[in-house]
Chain A
Amino acid sequence: MRNSNQYNNSITISLERPKSIFRLNLGKNWFKFSRNTLSTIGLVIVVVIIVSAILAPWITPYPEHAGPFVDFDNTGQSPSLQHLCGTDNIGRDIFSRIIFAFRGALIMAVLVLAIAVPPGVLLGLIAGYLQNTWIDTVIMRITDIFLSVPPLILALAIAAMLKPTLMNAMIAVTVMWWPWYTRLVYGMASSVRNEYFVIAADLMGAGKFHILFREILPNCLSPVFTKMALDVGWVILIGASLSFVGLGEQPPIPALGQMVSDGARYMPTFWWMTIFPALAIVLTILGFNLMGDGIRDMLETGVE
């Protein structure tokens, strides 16, 4: 296979970068993902939720019910064709409110993860690389402290200290979310740093920045992405728990937990007021969890 004289100075022009240079490899990744039917179902659920949340004002039957709206003539309607999930105690369409509630939930989840994950990963990376030094001890013990506090209680405490708004609920959840990523990345980083390719880079003379971010970090990210996919579901649940006790979005903006709690006192006669929002929460978490399995399968590196 010798082609020695074929290459001259026009190398840089004639070489074609393959299409998959951005490593998306969509076709192959979809193949890996879709092997598992359940995760495909999860993906479908997630996509439906996200799309409906984005298009909420245009696809819900009663978009105005998600704002200040009152219709005492239509209160307590059971599920029907006009109101798929019935109406609540002020006459608002529950189905539309659920879709709008997804908006708040998703925005919160995305923002929480966007803010909590990078510092968590960074701390875990540094602690794992500097394992068995005082930096490692300090970082991990602080992490342990945060992890030892029951998450919901911490979130409640913080949200109760500040005013009960969505923003503050988010802050509360963010503060207790990063340690999981630190621990996750710590485990991976401390074993990756002993791999021969890291040692090779070190022996070659690479600086610490290169070793941390170009050698070790890329090998720690698969479980991080998988966890992020799963965490969207869990953040939504925590958010719902907070709004259940009144700490979160304030009425009239709909929030899933709040809808559950509002409807609870009308059980069992007006069961749809609680059950449908609760089902929505369950479906969301189920969808993200199932999808998370598929993401994990997709990100596994094996022999290709």
Chain B
Amino acid sequence: MEQATNNEILKIEKLKKYFHIGKGKKGPIYVHAVDGITLNIKHGETLGLVGESGSGKSTIAYTVVGMYRPTSGQIMFKGKNIGIEASKRSLSSKKEIQIVFQDPGSSLNPRQTIEQILALPFRIHTQMPKRQFREKMVELLEKVELSPDYLYKSPPSIGGGEKQMVAIARAMAPNPSLIILDEPTSALDVSVQAKIINKLIDLQKEMNLTYLFITHDLSLMRNVANRISIMYLGKICEVAESVTFFEKPLHPYTQMLISSVPVITEEEENLKPQKVISIGEIPSPVNIPTGCSFHLRCPYKIPICSKVDPEMIEFSPGHIVRCHLFAKLETKKE
């Protein structure tokens, strides 16, 4: 399952990221934002990462891109270890991995023009002389369907969808291999979202990109991702191909989330698993329950769930799940 193939552009192994938030009676208190993640992304695919807030999905993104340093574990990009902060990384690593943030309003400097914003990646990552920048920028803007006069505008005067297009253009500027999209359309309307998602898919084919796509919107995920992994409290619960994920969700948490997706057609209603209503607040990543972190909300729990944390099991090729209910199945198979 974890053989290194040439096809894998990003390999995350047993990644942990804890944040120190103070001292308790028994010693220092940590937030277990990411608690042992193993994940691979294949070249050219879109891997979807789904979960509630506090699940750790953004933390993974930020650690991969270099905003945080891993507490333990490895991140290998194209065979090179990049488990260090951005400031210590080589320029080429910074070029290859780009990120698009959720809020377009705060990811673009309101006191700069689009021209200045786009000039930065060209200046740092290419040897082009300054006179050629303008031409390249117009090309880039064209790719995201913005007219050249946007160069002279500044972020506060353009709409959210257009700002996000600029953020995407900025991410594409240095010609990266991997782009991490952290909820790129969550702050936008459905029609703007459609435009941006379609553009992202087109650009992926055109520029041979790999995407790590993070969102909480399962319906969006279904249409964007090739494979989907779902996270809960810092651990992965299930990984599967997109279609399988929705047709045969195994993990109770997956079923719970899919069953509560708001849909707009009868057809979709019939596809949803039976309604499982989530009880209570999301537990905080500071007080993680013993055993399986999900057992307090799980309708199918068995005695072992409160004592032992389950292992990741390959239920069928490419379909991985971390749940005691299926561990028994696998041992039964043998």
Task: Say yes or no: A195-B106 contact (C-beta < 8 A), given A203-B86, A218-B112.
Answer: yes
- Residues of B253-299 contacting chain A, CB below 8 A: none
- A153 interfacial by beta-carbon distance below 8 Å: no
Out of A17, A196, A204, A301, name the residue touching B106 (CB < 8 Å).
A196
Out of B95, B106, B124, B151, name the residue touching A197 (CB < 8 Å).
B106
- B149 interfacial by beta-carbon distance below 8 Å: yes
Q: How far is the CB of B106 from chain A (nearest CB, A)?
A: 5
Task: Say yes or no: A18-B110 contact (C-beta < 8 A), given A203-B66, A203-B86, A205-B94.
Answer: no
Instruction: Identify which of A3-11, A110-118, A127-135, A289-297 touches chain B.
Output: A3-11
Provide the residues of chain A in CB contact with B125, threshold 8 Å.
205
Q: Are B147 and A1 in contact (CB under 8 A)?
A: yes
Q: Mark A14-39, 1 if CB is under 8 A from B, else 0.
A: 01011001000000000000000000
- B67 interfacial by beta-carbon distance below 8 Å: yes
What's the interface size class on B, roughly? 35 or more
- Residues of A174-215 contacting chain B, CB below 8 A: 195-206, 210, 214-215
Q: Are B124 and A205 in contact (CB under 8 A)?
A: yes
Q: Are B124 and A196 in contact (CB under 8 A)?
A: no
- A12 interfacial by beta-carbon distance below 8 Å: yes
Out of A21, A197, A203, A214, name the residue touching B67 (CB < 8 Å).
A203
Q: Are B109 and A219 in contact (CB under 8 A)?
A: yes
Provide the residues of chain A in CB contact with B121, threshold 8 Å.
204
- B134 interfacial by beta-carbon distance below 8 Å: yes
Out of A7, A11, A219, name the residue touching B111 (CB < 8 Å).
A219
Q: Are A203 and B145 in contact (CB under 8 A)?
A: no
Q: Are A214 and B116 in contact (CB under 8 A)?
A: yes
CA distance A187 to B250 in the complex (A): 50
Q: Are B142 and A205 in contact (CB under 8 A)?
A: no
CA distance A123 to B101 in the complex (A): 31
Out of B87, B94, B101, B157, name the residue touching A204 (CB < 8 Å).
B94
Task: Say yes or no: A204-B149 contact (C-beta < 8 A), given A7-B142, A195-B106, A219-B110.
Answer: no
Provide the residues of chain A in CB contact with B110, threshold 8 Å.
197, 219, 301
Provide the residues of chain B in CB contact with A203, threshold 8 Å.
65-67, 86, 94, 98-99
Q: Are B152 and A199 in contact (CB under 8 A)?
A: no
Q: Are A205 and B109 in contact (CB under 8 A)?
A: no
- Residues of B61-77 contacting chain A, CB below 8 A: 65-67
- Residues of B96-115 contacting chain A, CB below 8 A: 98-99, 101, 103, 106-112
Question: How many residues on the A side are at the interface (Cβ–Cβ under 8 A)?
Answer: 33
Q: Are A7 and B103 in contact (CB under 8 A)?
A: no
Q: Are A304 and B134 in contact (CB under 8 A)?
A: no
Q: Are A12 and B124 in contact (CB under 8 A)?
A: no
- B91 interfacial by beta-carbon distance below 8 Å: yes
Q: Give the nearest-CB partner of B131 in chain A.
A: A12
Q: Are A196 and B91 in contact (CB under 8 A)?
A: no
- B39 interfacial by beta-carbon distance below 8 Å: no
Q: Are B111 and A12 in contact (CB under 8 A)?
A: no
Q: Give the nearest-CB partner of A302 in chain B.
A: B156
Provide the residues of chain B in CB contact with A18, threshold 8 Å.
149, 152
CA distance A295 to B183 in the complex (A): 37
Q: Are B109 and A215 in contact (CB under 8 A)?
A: yes
- A81 interfacial by beta-carbon distance below 8 Å: no
Provide the residues of chain B in CB contact with A204, threshold 8 Å.
94, 120-121, 124, 170, 174
Q: Are B107 and A196 in contact (CB under 8 A)?
A: yes
- A145 interfacial by beta-carbon distance below 8 Å: no
Q: Are B112 and A214 in contact (CB under 8 A)?
A: yes
- B310 interfacial by beta-carbon distance below 8 Å: no
Q: Are A15 and B120 in contact (CB under 8 A)?
A: no
Provide the residues of chain A in CB contact with B157, threshold 8 Å.
303-304
Provide the residues of chain B in CB contact with A2, threshold 8 Å.
145
Out of B109, B131, B142, B148, name the residue touching A15 (CB < 8 Å).
B148
CA distance A150 to B106 in the complex (A): 40
Q: Are B135 and A1 in contact (CB under 8 A)?
A: no
Q: Are A11 and B86 in contact (CB under 8 A)?
A: no
- B138 interfacial by beta-carbon distance below 8 Å: yes
CA distance A17 to B152 in the complex (A): 7
Provide the residues of chain B in CB contact with A219, threshold 8 Å.
109-111
Q: How far is the CB of A200 from chain B (nearest CB, A)?
A: 6
Task: Say yes or no: A12-B135 contact (C-beta < 8 A), given A2-B145, A196-B107.
Answer: yes
| 5 tightest Cβ-Cβ pairs between the two chains A and B | A218-B111, A196-B107, A197-B109, A205-B94, A196-B106
Q: What 7 additional pairs, Cβ within 8 angstroms, besides A12-B135, A219-B110? A: A4-B142, A203-B86, A204-B174, A215-B112, A218-B112, A301-B111, A303-B156
A-B contact pairs, 10 of them (CB 8 A): A11-B134, A12-B135, A15-B151, A18-B149, A195-B106, A201-B109, A202-B87, A204-B120, A218-B109, A302-B156
Residues of B within 8 A of A (CB): 65-67, 86-87, 91, 94-95, 98-99, 101, 103, 106-112, 116, 120-121, 124-125, 131, 134-135, 138, 142, 145, 147-149, 151-152, 156-157, 170, 174
